[in-house]
Amino acid sequence: MPAPAQPTSAGTPVRRTSSASVGSSGCATTTSRTRSRASSHGRSRRRSRCGRVSGSNCGLSTPGRGPRASRPRTSSLSKRSGPSDHTNMRPTDMLTSLSLLLALHGGPPRAVNPVRVVTSLTTYAAIAREVVGDRGTVTSIANGDENPHYVQPKPSFVPTLSQADLFVTTGLDLELWVPALLDKANNTKVTEGGPGYVAAYAGIDLLDIPTSFSRAQGDIHVYGNPHIWTDPMNAVQIARNILTGLRRVSPENAEYFSGREKDFEDRIYRALFGDELVKLLGAQPLADLNRQGKLFDFLKSRQYQGAPLMERLGGWLKQAMPFRGKSVACYHKEWDYFSREYGLPCIDYIEPKPGIPPTPGHVLEVINEMRERHIQVLLSTNYYDHNQVLEVAHKTGAKAVIVPSNTNGAPGINSYFDLMNLWITELARAFGGGGPAAN
Region 323-348: mean pLDDT is: 96
In a domain, residue 76? The reply is: no
Residue 54 and residue 155 in one domain: no
Last residue of a domain, one of 270, 296, 312: 270
In a domain, residue 2? The reply is: yes
Last residue of a domain, one of 239, 254, 270: 270
For residues 230 and 121, is the Cβ–Cβ distance under 8 A? no
Residue 251 and residue 362 in one domain: no
Provide the domain count of the chain.
3
Residue 417 and residue 336 in one domain: yes
Residue 263 and residue 328 in one domain: no
Confidence of residue 367 (pLDDT cuts 50, 70, 90): very high
If we measure between CA atoms, which residue out of 345, 351, 344 comes closest to residue 365?
351
What's the pLDDT score for residue 400?
A: 98
Rg of the chain over Cα atoms, rounded to whole angstroms, equals 37
Residue 49 and residue 132 in one domain: no
241 pLDDT exceeds 50? Answer: yes
DSSP secondary structure, 84-132, as one string:
---TT--HHHHHHHHHHHHHHH-S----SS-EEEEESSHHHHHHHHHHH
Residue 125 and residue 228 in one domain: yes
Indicate the Cα dihedral angle 189, 194, 198, 202, nearest 10°: 180
Q: Is 247 exposed, middle or buried (0-12, 13-18, 19+ CB in 10 A)?
A: middle
Residue 12 and residue 132 in one domain: no
Hey, is 348 helix, strand or coil? strand
Residue 129 and residue 261 in one domain: yes
In a domain, residue 334? The reply is: yes
In a domain, residue 106? The reply is: no
What's the pLDDT score for residue 221?
A: 72
Confidence of residue 216 (pLDDT cuts 50, 70, 90): low
Q: Which residues contact 361 (CB under 8 A, 6 or more apart)?
A: none
Residue 177 and residue 249 in one domain: yes
Residue 56 and residue 129 in one domain: no
Region 97-125: mean pLDDT is: 71
What's the pLDDT score for residue 223?
A: 85
In a domain, residue 199? The reply is: yes
Confidence of residue 210 (pLDDT cuts 50, 70, 90): confident
Residue 129 and residue 251 in one domain: yes
In a domain, residue 155? The reply is: yes
Query: Which residue type is seen at 49?
Result: R
Last residue of a domain, one of 253, 270, 287: 270
Range of the domain at 249: 115-270
In a domain, residue 386? The reply is: yes
Confidence of residue 57 (pLDDT cuts 50, 70, 90): very low
In a domain, residue 107? The reply is: no
If we measure between CA atoms, which residue out of 373, 425, 365, 429 comes closest to residue 397?
373
Residue 234 and residue 131 in one domain: yes
Q: Give the Cβ contact number of residue 287 at 10 Å.
A: 19
DSSP secondary structure, 12-37, as one string:
-EEEE-S--EE-TTS-EEE-EE---T
Which CATH number do you get for residue 138? Answer: 3.40.50.1980
Query: Rounded to whole angstroms, what are the CA distances from 17 to 6, 44, 64, 387?
Result: 12, 11, 6, 99
What's the pLDDT score for residue 46?
A: 44
